[in-house]
Structure 1
Amino acid sequence: MMNKTAFIALAVLVGMSSAHAGDAAKGKEKSAACAACHGADGNSPAPAFPRIGGQHEDYLLQALQQYKKGSRKNAIMAAQVGALSNSDMADLAAYFASQAGPLVTRR
């Protein structure tokens, strides 16, 4: 019985992670508010704001979800993600993950 329960729990987790696959093109359309602090490509020149371009998509999605739930604390980010759906957050994560990071040069 325990193995069956563990298998079901694993299947649910796998299903949840694939349900959040984002669309980078849609994320770019939704990223205008993010650009004010993080820069258009997620590589803010201002040291006060994290560079999110090139980060792992799952990390970015998890961070956005945590800001929305309140388990990650930042008043500005909490306000920014308040109205975002899971799909919006997945799209934004996909977009910023597709950008070059601060240590990667584009050719």
Structure 2
Amino acid sequence: MIKKTMVVAAAALLGSSFALAGDVARGKEKSAACAACHGADGNSPAPAFPRIGGQHEDYLLQSLLSYKNGSRKNAIMAAQVGALSKQDMADLAAYYASQDGPLVSRR
């Protein structure tokens, strides 16, 4: 019982994203709206949109959470994340983190 209490307390101290594990397959399913700007694999060919493929999963998740809570300002992204749950955002972060970045190939 003491160990369980310690784990719960540690999770509370580290924040809610600690408990979120993203699912790559579910993230891919949810990424259709993102692909319009960021490209299907997160490597947009348009220089106006950030390349998010291959970024660190925790960075992507924190960015999405920041757009949702308003601490990171971008009207387009705020509208895009408005209806997403924390799990949806974790799944998207896992998917894009699993993709190749512009300078790194995992294949």
TM-score scaled by length of structure 1: 0.86
% identical aligned pairs: 82
RMSD over aligned CA atoms reads: 1.9
Structure 2 letter corresponding to 1:88: D
| Distance change in 2, residues 1:80/1:15 (3 Å) | closer
Residue matched to 2:45 = 45
Pairs within 5 Å for 1:49-60? 49-60=49-60
Q: Note if 1:93 corresponds to 2:77.
A: no
Pairs within 5 Å for 1:1-107? 10-14=10-14, 16-105=16-105, 107=107
Cα drift, residue 12 of structure 1: 1.7
Which shows bigger deviation, 72-81 or 11-20?
Answer: 11-20
Return structure 1 stretches of 4+ with deviation > 6 angstroms: none
Q: Is the contact made by 2:52 and 2:96 (CA closer than 8 Å) also made in structure 1?
A: yes
Cα distance in 1 for partners of 2:15, 2:81 equals 23
Number of corresponding residues: 101
TM-score scaled by length of structure 2: 0.86
Corresponding residue SS for 2:105: coil
